[in-house]
Amino acid sequence: AQSVAQPEDQVNVAEGNPLTVKCTYSVSGNPYLFWYVQYPNRGLQFLLKYITGDNLVKGSYGFEAEFNKSQTSFHLKKPSALVSDSALYFCAVRRPSYFNKFYFGSGTKLNVKP
């Protein structure tokens, strides 16, 4: 079965400090990996994705993610958090297949305090 795990329901960090939001996956084959952000009552906004190539992927708003195949992880990172980064973050994987179906993690609420 395909699955995505975000072990932390919530992450608290002070503004200016680095942040990490964790994601591990269990998907057969070579999945595509994604991070999305959701603000209250809004749809998901794409942050970044990993398809192939360099394990460190840079995305929108200063976020980056590191793909680790041996640990099947795709953690989201940012060197210096902003209060405006506070939102709900979802990790997602897609197995290249006919239906192009996405599997989402349970989400991690990021709280950045001034």
Partner 1 sequence: GAVVSQHPSWVICKSGTSVKIECRSLDFQATTMFWYRQFPKQSLMLMATSNEGSKATYEQGVEKDKFLINHASLTLSTLTVTSAHPEDSSFYICSAYWVRKTEAFFGQGTRLTVV
Window of 18-26, 38-46, 68-76, 78-86 that interacts with partner 1 by CB under 8 A: 38-46
Distance in angstroms (rounded) separating the CA atoms of residues 40 and 20: 21
Residue 112 backbone dihedrals phi, psi, to 5 degrees: -110, 120
Q: Which residues of 9-23 are buried (b: 16+ CB within 10 A; e: fewer)?
A: eebebeeeeebebbb
Separation CA 112–CA 108 (nearest Å) = 13
Size of the site for partner 1 (CB under 8 A): 21
Region binding partner 1 by CB under 8 A among candidate stretches 20-28, 42-50, 61-69, 73-81: 42-50
Contact flag: residue 58 with partner 1 (CB under 8 A): no
Compute φ and ψ for 22, nearest 5 degrees.
Answer: -90, 150
Given the complex with partner 1, which of 13 and 89 has the nearer CB atom? 89
Stretch that binds partner 1, among 23-31, 34-42, 64-72, 73-81 (CB under 8 A): 34-42
The closest of 89, 101, 105, 106 to 31, measured between CA atoms, is 101
Q: Verify binding: residue 36, partner 1, rule CB under 8 A.
A: yes
Among 1, 28, 29, 41, indicate the residue that binds partner 1 (CB under 8 A). Answer: 41
Footprint of partner 1 (CB under 8 A)? 32, 34, 36, 41-46, 49, 51, 90, 94, 99-102, 104-107
